[in-house]
Structure 1
Amino acid sequence: MFLRYPDDPYDRIWDSDLIKRQNYLVGVAPGTERISTTRNIDIETREYPPVKVMQTAVVGTKGVLSYRLNLEDFPANARAYAYFAEIEDLGQNESRKFKLKQPYIADYSNAVVNIAENANGSYTLYEPSYMNVTLEFVLSFSFVMTPDSTRGPLLNALEISKYVQIASKTDKQDTTVVNAFRLLSAQSSQTNEGDPCVPTPWEWVNCSTTTPPRITKIILSRRNVKGEIPSELSNMEALTELWLDGNLLTGQLPDMSKLINLKIVHLENNKLTGRLPSDMGSLPSLQALFIQNNSFSGEIPAGLISKKIIFNYDGNAELHRGKKKHFKMVLGISIGVLVILLILFLVSLVLLLNTRRKASKKKREEKGISGRTNSKPGYSFLRGGNLMDENTTCYITLSELKEATDNFSKKIGKGSFGSVYYGKMRDGKEIAVKSMNESSCHGNQQFVNEVALLSRIHHRNLVPLIGYCEEECQHILVYEYMHNGTLRDHIHESFKKQKLDWLARLRIAEDAAKGLEYLHTGCNPSIIHRDIKTGNILLDINMRAKVSDFGLSRLAEEDLTHISSIARGTVGYLDPEYYASQQLTEKSDVYSFGVVLLELIAGKKPVSSEDYSDEMNIVHWARSLTHKGDAMSIIDPSLEGNAKTESIWRVVEIAMQCVEQHGASRPRMQEIILAIQDAIKIEKGTENKLKSSSSFSGSSSSKPHSSRKTLLTSFLEIESPDVSNGCLPSAR
């Protein structure tokens, strides 16, 4: 257990004297007490130990503080420095004075350490000059209190330095490029010096674990970077992601033909000019390229048009997809083809009008959509149908839906696939009517096929599809009406949020998880939702949760737009791995559900400028707190005193696993359900016996041991690598 960079800008290793390392610490005398404080220590210069080191100390409770150090590996001319700062509250008549004593060496006259608390409440560092002594093979020394002192000696830190050369530095070509970027960005140049990867990466680069380290990612979005992109960028063969969007970059793009591992490039919202490099279309790993809102010109490389990548080039007025050759010939051929197509279209339209009704009838009979063997394709409620029938997906006429919804005037919501209207049928059944955004007279076969598939999916935690309509080039789905609206409303609207206690949130999470688990494992083929969010989790009249809009991503993609390479989902919930690779798996739904769990825990929105700083969302915010050991700060204040910490902690753990960066590290839905059920058991076990000592109240006594790191006591600084020369401590 030790402290080093970034707590110490010089990357000195400050180690606790509680840890007896073989090479240097032989022993420490008994009769000592470890103390610590959270108050500020006034460190005047950076060369002094970090504040975290000076906030801990050992005190000789019997008037003596003794050490015996093995200094075999240290140079003979090394210096030893002791650091003292009073971190206890001394009474008005109390004092702490002590002297250094070494065996066989006379006392240092007048070398008395006298430290005391300042009047303003801060603490001043005291460094005695008499510690500049030549070290021996074994150094024994003691601090002994003087006769006029009321408190025993105190030691915050002892520094003995040596330098160790590192095995390798970051690749020189990579270092040249990032240093060029550092000079172009005033913000970055102030905080990053020395080697970009060793001993720890700069805040805006990611590095590989190879020898030497290679830079794999540059993240300089909106960093006020000015100037031209360094031409040496072409030498960064290990680079996989380049984020330079939202800056003031000018000039042309450099050669990128060697960047064979480059996957994601963000250059949008700059002032870049010139032609796109012809080799850009042949980059083998490229998955996403964003160059919108620049001043690029000329022809887009053919490879970029033909590759199945995410490519956005809007806002470049002089950039076009192909050269304007043989314009007259192309125009003549186009007109001829258009005339032929028009004739064929008119003939097809006549045939279509004659056969459409028969074809529609046959399709519904084949797919069994009516839900009854004696139903006709034109089955409707006007002909005796009843929405209360079990497992029934009916064809509902457009006129019936207009009547039920008062001509689609009762709008209750809008999603990514269309508007939703409230309706009430003649038999009294309340319905939610979803009208697809992109109305089309084409793709009816695919639409009917998808409805047939969705009609066979039945689970108590999925919103049932009870009807559909395809008239006047409209595609309409009819669902059971959920009286208590969306989970999003209950979390983020204050008047509803007050009614949603922790146990209710757990039950909702369990219901939604079961519905999602059924889609993943209970359907053949399995269904990936692709848009899990609190807005797609609905609550019925009994506050039981049901997942909605399952299958709509696929329906909208195949039925209306055929195959799409654009990642579908909602900002804040979208799986970053799916976004980058376009490889959709069940683990993408797991990531989105993890965000839902964090919303239930924290009561915050996934993305909100009010709750988080720039470039932050609920996942980054929660991850930063858990990494600091302060996971309990995530919890919604409205749950304070009304929920068991152990129960909340169980859900925090599984939620953070769900939002792991890589899908392979995320749990399956079955594991998530078990974790939520564990939390429910913990909460219900003491539901009526809440005690202030165990309920969440912000006190450290109620927090699990793993949620907070214990402050280290006193420190012994052993190795001091030279950061400016790229040095790192040798392996022990």
Structure 2
Amino acid sequence: MSKGLLHWALNFGRKSRAYIAIYLRCWVESIWGFSIGGEFAGFYKITCETGQETELNGFKSDNGCSKRQDKSKISNRYQQSEMSLPTYLRFGKFLKERSTQIFKGWAKASPYRELKQLVKKMRPSGSEFTLKELQRATNGFGEKIGKGGFGTVYLGTFSDGRKVAVKVFNEDEIRRQEYWMNELVIVTKLHHPSILNFLGYCFEDNLMLVYEYMEGGNLSDLLFAGPEIKQIIDWPTRMKIILDIIRGIRYLHEGTNECMVHRDIKPSNILLDKDFNAKISDFGISRILPDDTQSAPLETCTDGGVSPTHLANLSTHVTTNTSGTMGYIDPECFETCRVTIKSDIYSFGMLLLNIVSGKKLIQQKDEGMHILSDHAWRLHKEDRLIELINPQLLGTEGLNPTRILRTITVALWCIQRESKIRPSTSQVFDMLSTEEEIPTPPLP
């Protein structure tokens, strides 16, 4: 009985090779959309009732033979279409390579499915856009209006004429999923005139966030543009921008149920509309502090990816690596590896120096590196803070030197090295918006 079974198995394997190969080919072509062709062509020839030979391609004949005829000839003439061993090997190699590509694609798409489940559970305030909608709005992502550490921003226009800014996160950034989810978690909780208005998101093919379009550009371009295109902003306008920014920061720290730290306050993250109303943007590395605390440890994702549990926890405890922009980062962050609300105060103080002087924090000059904060402390020590004011402001309307010097004093309080010496957000707002006397800040 065993010999008979063995003989049947061998005979079945010999006689059914072509039959199985044809079905495999049809399955590959129908499921994967891939035509084998090439070196495999000619291995699956059968003879129709007309006497003509035809190549079977997914049970569809090219010379008029019917599918019924083709199928019947498969069973009757399988001996004519047997595959050789080299062909089996080539076919096996093809299946292995193609399967590897598909499994890689599934592995790449898997986090997106996890993200979709988390986003659905979170119920963000914005709309979910399709890739086709955003491609049509941005004309195939044709007009770039900004670029940052986490992605590129494109201008889009919807059918109703509404202009938007579409932020596409970097494809080569290993942690882009964490930054995308982190920013989505933060911005969906924020609703304030000094915070950039969030409109929606997309995770089809790539990770994107959609915001309102600010036609005035960012503050960095306005302050540091070349003299041929630079627009001189008078002091009342600059003061208006300053108050908008500190209102936004106070809202993050005190205006919601959860205390949030932006962690990257700088000119390029301050956007302006046509009337110079300022709004804070870019919350990719922002943090939500634990309840009843004013600080939290900076945690680093060491596995190079984002786990579902980690992403799920982002809604209550955001974890990102130590990052930001040199010059604006709180020095204590490097020493203690903890982020606090005073970190934003330090960054805001540096931003005030930018606005008052019209200069970048770090400049390369003939005599060496020029650090704006060091220059400000030196002028403060020598009682010459008036020299820090941008000379272009001197001839503008509404200039108030006393008011400008008061703003510089506030900046020096904000950039104190020890966070406990820095004022709170509300104290900074009061010092800028009232005429109360401000004590002289101590030298570092």
TM-score, normalised by the number of residues in structure 1:
0.39
Q: Specify the code of the residue in structure 1 equivalent to 2:343.
A: S
Q: Counterpart of 2:207 in 1: which secondary structure?
A: strand
How big is the shift at 1:441? 10
| Higher helix fraction (1 or 2) | 2
| Matched pairs, number | 318
Q: Counterpart of 1:532 in 2: which secondary structure?
A: coil
Q: Specify the code of the residue in structure 2 equivalent to 1:402.
A: Q
Q: Specify the code of the residue in structure 2 equivalent to 1:408.
A: F
Return 5+ residue gaps in structure 1 as ranges.
1-341, 372-392, 683-703, 708-732
* Paired position in structure 2 for 1:655: 411
Q: Counterpart of 1:616 in 2: which secondary structure?
A: strand
Give me the CA root mean square deviation: 3.8
Q: Contact 1:502–1:639 at 8 Å: present in 2 too?
A: yes
1:409 matched to 2:142? The reply is: yes
* Paired position in structure 2 for 1:632: 386
1:462 matched to 2:216? The reply is: no
Q: Give the Cα separation in 1 of the matches to 2:175 and 2:344.
A: 30
Q: Specify the code of the residue in structure 2 equivalent to 1:487.
A: L
Q: 1:360 to 1:498 in 2, by over 3 A?
A: closer
Q: Give the Cα separation in 1 of the matches to 2:379 and 2:174.
A: 52
Q: Give the Cα separation in 2 of the matches to 1:440 and 1:605.
A: 27
Q: Give the Cα separation in 2 of the matches to 1:588 and 1:535.
A: 18
1:428-439 alignment to 2 at 5 Å?
428-438=161-171
* Paired position in structure 2 for 1:569: 324
* Paired position in structure 2 for 1:671: 427
Q: Give the Cα separation in 1 of the matches to 2:305 and 2:360.
A: 31
Q: 1:397 to 1:539 in 2, by over 3 A?
A: same
Q: 1:505 to 1:449 in 2, by over 3 A?
A: closer
1:59-70 alignment to 2 at 5 Å?
none
Q: 1:613 to 1:394 in 2, by over 3 A?
A: farther
Q: Contact 1:455–1:466 at 8 Å: present in 2 too?
A: no
Q: Contact 1:601–1:635 at 8 Å: present in 2 too?
A: yes
Q: Counterpart of 2:279 in 1: which secondary structure?
A: strand
Q: Which has the larger radius of gyration?
A: 1
* Paired position in structure 2 for 1:507: 240
Q: Give the Cα separation in 2 of the matches to 1:583 and 1:647.
A: 34
1:579-658 alignment to 2 at 5 Å?
579-610=334-365, 613-642=367-396, 643-658=399-414
1:160-199 alignment to 2 at 5 Å?
none
Q: Give the Cα separation in 2 of the matches to 1:653 and 1:608.
A: 22
Q: Contact 1:468–1:476 at 8 Å: present in 2 too?
A: yes
Q: Counterpart of 1:584 in 2: which secondary structure?
A: strand
Q: Give the Cα separation in 1 of the matches to 2:251 and 2:133.
A: 32
Among all aligned residue pairs of Structure 1 and Structure 2, give the percentage whose two residues are the same amino acid. 34
Q: Specify the code of the residue in structure 1 equivalent to 2:379.
A: L
| Higher strand fraction (1 or 2) | 1
Q: Counterpart of 2:211 in 1: which secondary structure?
A: strand
Higher relative contact order (CA 8 A, sep 6+): 1
Q: 1:649 to 1:367 in 2, by over 3 A?
A: same
Q: Give the Cα separation in 1 of the matches to 2:148 and 2:176.
A: 21
Q: Contact 1:420–1:435 at 8 Å: present in 2 too?
A: yes
1:488 matched to 2:243? The reply is: no
Q: 1:641 to 1:395 in 2, by over 3 A?
A: same
Q: Contact 2:198–2:211 at 8 Å: present in 1 too?
A: yes
Q: 1:356 to 1:638 in 2, by over 3 A?
A: closer
Q: Specify the code of the residue in structure 2 equivalent to 1:482.
A: M
Q: Counterpart of 1:609 in 2: which secondary structure?
A: strand
How big is the shift at 1:366? 3.1
Q: Specify the code of the residue in structure 1 equivalent to 2:427.
A: E
Q: Give the Cα separation in 1 of the matches to 2:331 and 2:116.
A: 44
1:201-220 alignment to 2 at 5 Å?
none
Q: 1:421 to 1:608 in 2, by over 3 A?
A: same
Q: 1:557 to 1:465 in 2, by over 3 A?
A: farther
Q: Specify the code of the residue in structure 2 equivalent to 1:492.
A: F
Q: Specify the code of the residue in structure 2 equivalent to 1:650.
A: R
How big is the shift at 1:550? 2.4
1:367-382 alignment to 2 at 5 Å?
367-369=122-124, 371=125
* Paired position in structure 1 for 2:31: none
How big is the shift at 1:561? 4.9
Q: 2:211 aligns with which of 468, 473, 479?
A: 479
Q: 1:551 to 1:566 in 2, by over 3 A?
A: closer
Q: 1:578 to 1:444 in 2, by over 3 A?
A: closer
How big is the shift at 1:412? 0.9
